[in-house]
Amino acid sequence: MKKIIAITLTSAVCGALLFASCRTIKDIPEDLTSTQLIQLGQNAYGSAQYKNAETYYKTVIARYGMDSSVYVEARYELGHLYLKQKKYAAAYASFKEILDMYASTTPGVLPGAYNKLAEIGMKRIPKHKLPETKPSKVQTNTATAGERPEAANEAQDAAQNMQNTDVRESPAAESEAQRAE
């Protein structure tokens, strides 16, 4: 009889702990800071509670996403989480968004570490799992200096002639020319 009570009590405690650890976004207190939410997400990630970690990181974005540095941190954590779960398309999207933000933002505005971490995350995605990208329609001129097309040669010659003309017509050049005579 004592064994049955002990087993029942143990099961009830384990069930309560399991239920308490499966929090939803509705159960997350409103007064938690972004740092606290990130920490809770990292704790959940460390305990292999990936769905909970994702919920915490998405909550950070929903509540504090208007702060770009907080947004980048939460977005990186999501990318890292997706990489761990082998959700490569989602990881790629997170890391790509971060890299695009850094490319279009003045240096020093965003925390520098996440740019490098996103680059590292991108390299960890297997090449055959990367989303297909469409080739660019922009054509680049890959000719060397000796192989330049005739139009490019003419443009460079015209620019050189204009530069020479500007030097000859400047007041300093005129006074030097008069002194030389």
| Model confidence pLDDT, tens digit, residues 5-42 | 444 444 444 444 444 445 455 689 999 999 999 999 99
- Read off the pLDDT band of 1 (50, 70, 90): low
**Together in a domain, 101 and 151:** no
Range of the domain at 21: 14-129
Number of domains in the chain: 2
CA separation for the pair 94, 58 (Å, rounded): 12
Q: What is the pLDDT, as a whole number, of residue 130?
A: 79
> Quick check: is 139 in a domain?
no
pLDDT tens, residue by residue, 81-109: 999 999 999 999 999 999 999 999 999 99
Whether residue 62 has pLDDT greater than 90: yes
How far is C-alpha 19 from the chain's CA centre? Answer: 34
Measuring CA to CA, how many Å separate 57 from each of 22, 35, 48, 75, 180? 15, 10, 15, 7, 75
Supply 75's token pair. 């977005």
**Together in a domain, 87 and 163:** no
**Together in a domain, 121 and 47:** yes
Which residues have CB under 8 Å from 165's CB, separation 6+?
none
Q: What is the pLDDT, as a whole number, of residue 144?
A: 44
What's the mean pLDDT when you consider all of the chain? 74
Q: Is the sign of the CA dihedral 110, 115, 121, 125 positive or negative?
A: positive
Query: What is the pTM (predicted TM-score) of this model?
Result: 0.60
Supply 99's token pair. 């890299």
Instruction: Check: CB of residue 65 under 8 Å from CB of residue 37.
Output: no
> Quick check: is 71 in a domain?
yes
CB atoms within 10 A of CB 46: 9
> Quick check: is 92 in a domain?
yes
Q: What is the pLDDT, as a whole number, of residue 93?
A: 96
**Together in a domain, 124 and 51:** yes
Mean pLDDT for 51-78 is 96
Q: What is the pLDDT, as a whole number, of residue 19?
A: 46
CB atoms within 10 A of CB 17: 10
Instruction: Check: CB of residue 78 under 8 Å from CB of residue 54.
Output: yes
Instruction: Check: CB of residue 111 under 8 Å from CB of residue 131.
Output: no
CA separation for the pair 135, 148 (Å, rounded): 24
**Together in a domain, 122 and 152:** no
Q: What is the pLDDT, as a whole number, of residue 177?
A: 43
